[in-house]
Amino acid sequence: MSRAVTLTILLAGLIVIGSSTPVWAAQMDARINPNSDSSPFKMNYQKTVFIEYPNGGELFDVLQGHEWSVIGTADSSDPGVKNLMRQLNDKIKADGSQAHISDLNVSYDIHLKARNINTSIDYRVIIEGTLTNYVITKDAQKTLVDLGWRGLTANDDVVIDGHELNFPISILLEEEPEASAFFVGTEAEDVLHRNLINADFILQQPLTNWHFLFDPTGINVDAGTFGLSEEISGFVVSSWTMGESSLREGRQVERVFEAEIMADQKYIVRSVQSSDQGNLAAIGFGALDVFDGVEIAGVTPTPPQDYATTSTGDFPVMIIYGMAAMAAIAGGAFFMFSNRALKNTKEGQQGIDPSRLQGYQTSSSSGGYQTNRGEAQLKDDSSYQQTRSVYDTQSSQSPPQQTPPPQPASTNEEAACGCAASADMGSECDCAMQGACLCDATCGCNADICKEQVNSMS
């Protein structure tokens, strides 16, 4: 009973977790070196907005043939980039982390293209910067690294080079004011007013749910990507990744928000964001923990002695043992069923007892040739209903077959005939096979050639 309850709870949890979906989307890539005062990071924010007009209408007339792009880059000397860096640091501090962004570069690419049935606007903002002050404490054995800075989000306007990049409706108001008038004051405005620069879910997903890997020799190959010298070659590289649908992370799908607009025609505005992804690496072996509500990693140069794990910690071990137990149960059930079926199987001859059958010849001579064909029939029909063929039903509907005429009984005269066959063989005169007859008038042979010879002699 307890096992059934446990399995039920596990299945219910799988359904609930698998059906839940996060709200935001972003892609993070960061490499933390606890032996350095700064480390690089990169965030990629993407979103696509579709404006659909399947029946044409005034909105189609406004956007027909339009295609444009807004592309640019800026560094920390730009006032808009400084404002974005301030917003990100305020969010990191609000999340309880002590880490700080000291440098930031921004690149953006917004592209609109109108088609016959819809218009798509692709938004992409990439920020690359330098993270500092992430080391909490450090001694000869271990370094505590702050990992609570992952929710890099801006909730206010981000204006760079005169373009507001955080809210998709802003660029439409700037570049397509006539088309934007269809959205103002409707639910579509709410869809287009969701901030693009948002990584809250990457922070909300605990690192214990991320996939974990470590490579004791990874530095030898990847030292260049970290900007490290050969002095630390041979150290462990720990990495945590998220974004794959799993029992722990939940089902990762695209985020879709949609609204309808009733004007001269029905228009649909749909916002689509890709699923969240995160790649976080650290030099050394990282053991996760929580300090004052902030996730941290205790980093050591080498893993503990005899330590071994897989990409998902202890979870695969549970799966392996569970699959082995299920296979053992299935195998035991199979053998029990097979053994029971074998015991119920009768041994020896099945069907009709051969002693109840008798042979019957079905062939006769044709011209000068005779075959030896026959069939087996029951000596009696006492058990006919138990042994009759399924084809008897069809044969009972057909006209009854004529029984072969009985063979004439042999007589002394026939046996005396020099050219007659043996009475036991039941065949015609032997002389029919030789093409001549030596019978006299007293021969009782039925062969035509014998009859003709007898007539000619009488």
Does 436 fall in a domain? yes
Q: Comparing C-alpha atoms, which of 31, 240, 37, 289 is closest to residue 138?
A: 37
Q: Are residues 64 and 189 in the same domain?
A: yes
116 CA to centre of own chain: 35
Per the domain annotation, does 391 fall within a domain?
no
Centre a 10 Å sphere on the Cβ of residue 298 and count the other Cβ atoms it contains: 19
Residues 85 and 192 occupy one common structural domain:
yes
Please give the chain's pLDDT, 458 residues, in tens: 555 444 444 444 443 333 333 334 689 999 999 989 999 999 999 999 999 999 999 999 999 999 999 999 999 999 999 999 999 999 999 999 999 999 999 999 999 999 999 999 999 999 999 999 999 999 888 999 999 999 999 999 999 999 999 999 999 999 999 999 999 999 999 999 999 999 998 998 899 989 888 776 554 555 556 555 454 455 678 889 987 666 555 566 677 899 999 999 999 999 988 778 899 999 888 999 999 899 999 998 877 766 654 444 444 555 666 777 888 888 888 878 777 777 666 555 566 777 777 776 665 555 555 556 666 666 665 555 555 555 555 555 555 555 555 554 444 444 344 454 444 444 445 554 545 555 555 666 666 666 766 666 55
Same domain assignment for residues 124 and 259? yes
Domain of residue 204, residue span: 22-324
Q: What is the pLDDT of residue 333?
A: 84
Calpha distance 74→126 (Å, rounded): 11
Residue found by looking up tokens 């938004």 in the block? 123
CA angle 157, 161, 165 (to 5 degrees): 35
User: Cβ distance 194 to 269 under 8 Å?
Assistant: no
Question: Which of 266, 300, 324 is a domain's end point?
Answer: 324
Evaluate whether residue 377 is within a structural domain: no
Same domain? For 120 and 246 the reply is yes
Residue 341 φ then ψ, to 5°: -65, -35
Asked if 177 and 224 count as a contact pair (C-beta separation under 8 A), the reply is no
Say whether 388 sits in a helix, a strand or coil: coil
Letter for the amino acid at 386?
Answer: Q
- Tell me, yes or no, whether 179 lies in a domain: yes
The letter for the amino acid at 134 is Y
DSSP 8-state secondary structure symbol assigned to residue 303: P
Whether residues 320 and 416 fall in one domain:
no
Domain shared by 175 and 303, yes or no: yes
d(CA 195, CA 151): 14
What pLDDT was estimated at residue 380? 66
> How does strand 266-273 pair with strand 255-262?
antiparallel
pLDDT (0 to 100) of residue 183: 93
Burial (0-12, 13-18, 19+ Cβ within 10 Å), 451: middle
Residues 28, 125 share a domain? yes
Residue 399 lies in a domain: no
The last residue of a domain, from among 302, 324, 346: 324
* Last residue in a domain, options 324, 346, 362: 324
* Domain identity same for 214 and 72: yes
Cα angle: 418, vertex 420, 423; to 5 degrees:
130
Contacts of 145 (CB under 8 A, 6+ apart): 32, 34, 134, 135, 136, 282, 286, 296, 297, 298, 299
Task: Check whether residue 424 and residue 297 sit in a common domain.
Answer: no
Task: Specify the pLDDT at position 425.
Answer: 47
Q: Rounded to an integer, what distance in angstroms lies between the CA atom of residue 82 and that of residue 160?
A: 10
Asked, for residue 401, whether it belongs to a domain, the answer is no
Per-residue pLDDT of 54-110, as tens digits, reads 999 999 999 999 999 999 999 999 999 999 999 999 999 999 999 999 999 999 999
Instruction: Tell whether 3 is covered by a domain.
Output: no
What is d(CA 410, CA 421) in angstroms, rounded to the nearest whole number? Answer: 10
Radius of gyration of the chain from its Cα atoms, rounded to whole angstroms? 47
Instruction: Give the model's pLDDT for residue 454.
Output: 62
Dist CA 245 CA 302 (whole Å)? 30
Would residue 435 count as lying in a domain?
Answer: yes
Q: Which residues pair with 278 in a beta bridge?
A: 28, 242
Q: How many domains does the chain have?
A: 2
41, β-bridge pairs: 30, 129
Pairing mode, if any, of strands 118-132 and 159-160? unpaired
